[in-house]
Structures are given as structure tokens and as C-alpha cells.
Chains A and B, each alone.
Chain A
Amino acid sequence: MSAGIEFRGVSKVFPVRGGDELTAVDGIDLEIAAGEFAVLVGPSGCGKSTLLDLVGGLTVPSAGEILLDGRPVRGPGPDRSTVFQQYALLPWRTAQGNVEFGLEAIGVPRRLRRARAREYLELVGLAGFEERHPHELSGGMRQRVAIARSLAYDPEVLLMDEPFAALDAQTRESLQEELLRIWRRTGKTVLFITHGIEEAVYLGQRVAVMTSRPGRVKAVVPIELPDRAADRDLRSSPEFARYRHEIWSLLHDEVSRAQQWEREVGRV
């Protein structure tokens, strides 16, 4: 199952010290279809994580609303699941136990939990690692456990906040490939945040580029590439390069604007 996400004029304002206010995101209008793989890129601090928190129901918008399958979001729930950049694994639980954690939260009976956790660990290529604790796993494996945990309780929407940022290039590429495979198989709606332009082009069906703070949607670029599974070296194809350049140009102005702003703030 999957659900579409709709942002309708979403803004988020944070109170900051000294009674001031900080507009993190401003007037976001964006529609993500059910089953779509959407990627969000933008300069640091433009409010990407803020948007994800809003979809996750961890915070509420200051204005506008977010619809999930047509219904407004009213708090966290098991129909959405987040994969955090820092893995967020419980260090005292094994890989198996960590996947089961999500299942416990939604009240899956014990016997079903075991089987389901194993199944999803296998799906992310971790069969044989069930009894390992997080500190006995590599960074890439930990993130796989986190992905397995997110998938196991069958959410409709997968929210991923720079999940591969801390990994080395090769592990990242193999996990990207795997994520696409899983996405194709499960048909979930994915909202994926990244700093990496290549990652965005490689993964996304559409890439939304955000402006520097306050974050707005600057452009949405549909990516039409031949089937990724068939073409191994997609990344060096001319189409890929064209998309990469397009997004790079869109981002470039925003990044320099954000940096200039930071420098000014630093001087004051």
C-alpha cells in the first residue's frame, strides 16, 4: 500500500532566542503521487529536515497543511516511517531485535514478529546477521537494519533524511541500487532527502530543488532515464550528465546565496 503526499502552502516558523522568529520553510506547494520516488535537494539549512518532520507528524506546520492520501496529518503514526541519518538503532538490541522494535510498536504478535523481521533483514541482504548487535555491524549494515525496520511494519510512506550521507561511496552506491530494487518491489511512496546531486538524479523520479532559507520549492525536475536495472553504468550516460548539470545549476545560485547569508550573519 502507498499513499500520496500533498503539501498545501506549508510554512514553518520557529521561535528563536531573543523573541525573534525564524522562517524555516515558506509556502511549500508540492504533490507527490502514491508510489512515487521523490527526492528533495537544497542548500544546507533550507528546511529539508523540517519538511520531513512535518510529514512525519513530529511537528505541526505554522501555516498550510499536509495531506496524506487526502487526509490531513495529525501527528506521528505507523503509516509513515522515517530512516534517520544517524541510523537510530537501539544498541542493546540485535539486528533482529531492532527490526522487531517497530513491529512491537504497532502491536504485531510475538510469533509473527520473528518471522517478519527475518524476512525484512533478508530483503536488505542481511540474512545471517540477525543476532549481531549494532556495534558489530558496519555503517552500511546498520543503515540496512534501519531500512529493514522501517519497511517491516509496512508503512505507506517512507521518509528518508540523508540516509546514506555517512557512508563511503561504494557502500552508498550499493545501497542506492538496493533501495531502488526494494522500492520497485514494494511500491512505497518515498520522500528522500539528500545533499548529493548524483544521488538525487540516480534515485528520483522527480527531484524537487529548494531555495536557500526560507525554503521554497524552486523547481521540480522530472527525471526520465532508461530503466536503471538494465543499464549498469547509468551514471556516465549523457542524459544523466545533463540532469546532473541542470540540478547543479539550479542549486548553485542557492548555495552561494546561503553561504553569503551565513557570512553576513557571521560578521555581525
Chain B
Amino acid sequence: MSTELGVRSAVVVAPPVVDRKVRQRRSWLPALLRTVVGRSAAIVVLLAVWEAAPRLGLVDRTFLPPLSEVLRAWWGLLDGGRLGENARASLVRSFSGFGLAVGIGVPLGLLIGWYRPLAELLSPLLELFRNTAALALLPVFVLVLGIGETSKIAIVLYACLWPILLNTISAVRTVDPTLLRLARSLDLSPLRLFQKVILPASVPVVFTGIRLAGAVSILVLVAAEMVGAKAGLGYLINASQYNFAIPQMYAGILTISVIGVAFNQLLLAIERRLTAWRPGPPTS
């Protein structure tokens, strides 16, 4: 009897998907709690050490004040409006540069990746630019564009462009060749091929580049703001250090870290939405 049940039937019955969902829901809360606790444990320990070490005299509290003091300073900056003002200045520059880089890098990358000869022609050039540190070019940008907003946004744009551009190019060039054969056998027009195969197939790799650029946008900007700026978090940190307002300096650093993490999480969430069909979570 058991053999009869075994191989014969070619029709497969779908295992009940609902069941899995129910199970997931039931264990949802404790699982979430566990990840939150697990993820934050290391950070909590770090913050505790930060609080305790200066108080116990393990480090000089003039150079590293306890966390509570930094938080008080942070609150003061926020209350006085300085934090908001500087953070806004930084975010506007970061997002402008980043947004422009996405707007230019993705279409350009698609184009270059699509025209193979173009990609081969440009690849040494791209390699050269990518390996030229953006900050090394800061003086050039300042020289050409002045010390105003333009040069700040331009340097962010420049730094963000390469990861996006290079990832987009490689995304287009590494589309599964059997999918291209399939499209060809169906006689798809180049436009349809692009829209229905190349573009969706490229999304994951393009997004890796976008996320990389997201991190770069903040990194580069803060550094740029430390040289010749009148506002921004980089300026705030630098000015605080200059005036020996050490807690304020750390408050600025903390703010940047939090913004960086939040930005990355936002990009990750968007990426997850767009690549929900993928088996694993996006790799960082």
C-alpha cells in the first residue's frame, strides 16, 4: 500500500502555507524580544563602560567624559537649537549629494553596462577614479567651486557616485545569460528586455552599491565639514574640540553615528521591499 502512495502520482499537493504563517505568528513576540535583546546587548555594555570608565578614573574624564554628561550636553545642544541647525545643514548636503549620485549613477551605470564596448572602453578610467580618494580631491573642489554648499555637495556626489556606478554596471553585465537567451527566444524588443529582465535582475546588486554610497555620503561629508565650513555636524565637532567643549564634541559624534545607522536601516528596509523575492536577507 505504501508504495502505491509513493511515486505514482505526478500531481503534488501544496503543503499548507497557512500553517507556517500561524506558527510564525505565535512565536513572533518572544523571537522579536530575543533579537532586540541580543542585538542591543553589546551596545548596552559599551554604553555602560563609557559611563563607568571615566567615573572610576580608568580614563581621563577631560578627554572622555561619562556618557551621562555627553547626553546632558547633547540635550543642551538640542534645546539651544544648535544641534538641529547643524544636523539639518549636514543632512541637506548629504542627501543632495547622495540623491544626485543615485540619479546620475544608476541610469549611467545601466547605459554603460548595456553597451559592452562602452564598458570596456571606460573601465580603466572608472577604476582610476574609484581608487582616487574623494577627500584627496577636496582641495580641488574647494578651489574650483569655493567653500560654499556647492563644493560640499559635489564632494559627496563624487564619493557616492563610484560605488553606485560600478555596482550598476556589474549588475547589468552579470545578468543570468540563460535569462537573456530566454528573452531572445521570445523575441522581446530591446526595450522590453531592459524593462522586464535586465532592470529587475539588477536591483539587488544596484542596491548594494546604493547602501555603500549611503554610508560614504555621511563619512565624506563630515570630513569635508571639518575643513572650512560654517555649519554642519562636522563643523560642530571640530568647533567644540577647538573650544574644548569636549562633551559637546562627543554629542556631535554620537549624533552622526545614530544618523548613519538610521540611514543604513532605511536603505535596508527599502532594499528588502524591492527584493522580497530573494531567498536570504540582503547581505551587508
Binding site for B on A (CB under 8 A): 56-58, 75-78, 80-82, 84, 86-88, 90-93, 101-102, 104-106, 125-129, 133, 135, 141, 170, 173-175, 177-178
Contacts and interface: CB of A to CB of B under 8 A. Distances in A.
Interface in B1-38: 7, 10-14
26 contacts: A58-B184, A58-B185, A76-B185, A78-B186, A81-B186, A82-B181, A82-B182, A82-B185, A84-B178, A84-B181, A86-B178, A88-B178, A88-B179, A90-B197, A92-B200, A92-B277, A101-B196, A104-B196, A105-B187, A105-B192, A106-B186, A129-B12, A133-B277, A135-B278, A141-B12, A177-B10
A92 B184 CA distance: 19
B10 A105 contact: no
Contact of A128 (B13, B187, B197, B277): B13
B10 A102 contact: no
Contacts of A87: 178
A91 B12 contact: no
Given A90-B200, A92-B200, A92-B277, A81 B185 contact: yes
Contact of B187 (A75, A93, A129, A135): A75
Q: How large is the interface on B (under 10, 10 to 19, 20 to 34, 35 or more residues)?
A: 20 to 34
B14 A76 contact: no
Contacts of A135: 277-279
Interface in B233-284: 275, 277-279
Which 4 A-B pairs give the minimum distances between C-beta atoms? A128-B14, A105-B186, A125-B11, A88-B182
B108 to A, nearest CB: 23
B201 interface: yes
Nearest to A134: B277
B184 A76 contact: yes
A58 B197 CA distance: 18
Interface in B151-196: 176, 178-179, 181-182, 184-188, 192, 196
B182 A84 contact: yes
